[in-house]
Amino acid sequence: MNDPFPEISVTDEKLDARKYIERGTGRIVFSVFFVAILGTLVAIIFSYGVLLVALLLYPLVSWYTHKKAKALIHGSGVRVSNRQFPQIHRCLLECKDRLDLKKDVDVYIVEAKVLDAATVRNCNEITFTIYVFLVGLCNSIHHETSRA
pLDDT digits (tens, 9 = 90+) for 19-42: 888 888 999 999 999 999 999 999
Q: Is the pLDDT of residue 142 over 50?
A: no
Please, which residues bridge with residue 79 across strands?
A: 108
Q: What is the CB neighbour count within 10 angstroms for residue 46?
A: 9
For 28, counting Cβ atoms within 10 Å of its Cβ (0-12 exposed, 13-18 middle, 19+ buried), the class is exposed
Nearest to 127 by CA among 108, 102, 99: 108
- What's the Cα-to-Cα distance from 97 to each of 11, 16, 21, 75, 90, rounded to whole Å? 11, 11, 20, 29, 11
The proportion of the chain whose per-residue pLDDT surpasses 70, expressed as a percent, equals: 67
> What's the confidence (pLDDT) of residue 10?
63
Question: Which value, to the nearest 10 degrees, does the dihedral of the CA atoms of residues 104, 118, 76, 90 take?
Answer: -50
Does residue 5 come out as left (phi exceeding 0), alpha (psi in the -120 to 50 range) or beta?
A: beta
For 119, counting Cβ atoms within 10 Å of its Cβ (0-12 exposed, 13-18 middle, 19+ buried), the class is exposed
* pTM score of the predicted model: 0.61
> What's the confidence (pLDDT) of residue 42?
92
84/81 Cα distance (integer angstroms):
5
